[in-house]
Amino acid sequence: MLYIVPTPIGNLEDITLRALNVLKAVDLILAEDTRNTLFLLKHYNISKPVRPNHQHNEHKILEDLIQQLKAGKSIAIVSDAGTPGISDPGFLLIRACVQSGIPLTTLPGATAFVPALVNSGLPCDSFTFVGFLPHKKGRQTRLTQLANEPRTLIFYESPFRLLKALEEFKKFFGADRRASVSRELSKLYEENKQGTIDELIKYFTERPAKGEIVIVVEGASHKKQDDE
């Protein structure tokens, strides 16, 4: 069995009892960064073999992991924070398990975009999770495609590129489109700032952001309805 186990995005208490029990029971834990995972395991007095599984080696170790699972071993995969596969390593192994008929289960748990979406005050009934935009090639094309998307848009972004992203949103979506920036979710200095894109640019120009960023942007149809 492969277990996909969400880990806290900030506060270490944001982990389920089931997740802890799985981590205690499996034969092997795959970690995006073993240092972060060992810190979490030590906090909960869990001692298990931990092996790195990240974007630089996941292709190389895939076949070995599949063979271990076929041999009857139980493996848990975790990322540094949140749910594996959501803008984090995990997809390749999950797909290979599905293709090989290996049973797997994903535990419910922490994911940054859900609290950011709810905190935004923007419509939650229908949304598009974009994740990280391409850094260079394809970025402008993707933003053009999203300009008339009627659903609420959700982006992940680095604090170092936050202002660049907001400036691009202003260009493609309009300065008065409503948006929300969430950072350091579940941590001591959590912040959720709502306003127009123009207002957010001004705010974060004066107060440079730190920590992981989730940007939620109003969909085109909702903006049109608000104007009317």
Please tell me the predicted confidence (pLDDT) of residue 165: 97
Mean pLDDT of the 51-59 span: 93
CATH of domain 113-227: 3.30.950.10
What does the pLDDT look like over 135-177, one tens digit per residue? 888 999 999 999 999 999 999 999 999 999 999 999 999 999 9
Residue 223 has pLDDT above 80, yes or no: no
Measured distance CA(144)–CA(124) in Å, rounded: 23
Q: What angle do CA 195, 163, 114 make, to 5 degrees?
A: 55
Residue 122 has pLDDT above 90, yes or no: yes
Measured distance CA(204)–CA(159) in Å, rounded: 10
Residue 228 has pLDDT above 60, yes or no: no
What are the CA-CA distances from residue 75 to residues 7, 22, 50 (Å)? 15, 9, 10
Residue 224 has pLDDT above 70, yes or no: no
Please tell me the predicted confidence (pLDDT) of residue 152: 97
Please tell me the predicted confidence (pLDDT) of residue 87: 87
What does the pLDDT look like over 186-206, one tens digit per residue? 999 999 999 999 999 999 999
Residue 7 has pLDDT above 90, yes or no: yes
| Local confidence band at 3 (pLDDT 50, 70, 90 cut-offs) | very high
Please tell me the predicted confidence (pLDDT) of residue 135: 87
Per DSSP, the residues of the chain read -EEE--B-SS-TT-S-HHHHHHHHH-SEEEESSHHHHHHHHHHTT----EEE--TTTHHHHHHHHHHHHHTT--EEEE-SSB-TTSSSTTHHHHHHHHHHT--EEE-----THHHHHHHHTS--SSEEEEESPPSSTTHHHHHHHHTT--SEEEEEE-GGGHHHHHHHHHHHH-TT-EEEEEESTTSTT-EEEEEEHHHHHHHHHHS---S-EEEEE--HHHHHHHH-
Residue 51 has pLDDT above 70, yes or no: yes
Please tell me the predicted confidence (pLDDT) of residue 220: 93
Mean pLDDT of the 56-77 span: 96
Please tell me the predicted confidence (pLDDT) of residue 173: 97
Please tell me the predicted confidence (pLDDT) of residue 225: 58
* Domain locations in the chain as residue ranges: 2-106, 113-227
CATH of domain 2-106: 3.40.1010.10
Q: What is the pTM of this model?
A: 0.90
Q: Whole-number mean pLDDT of the chain? A: 94
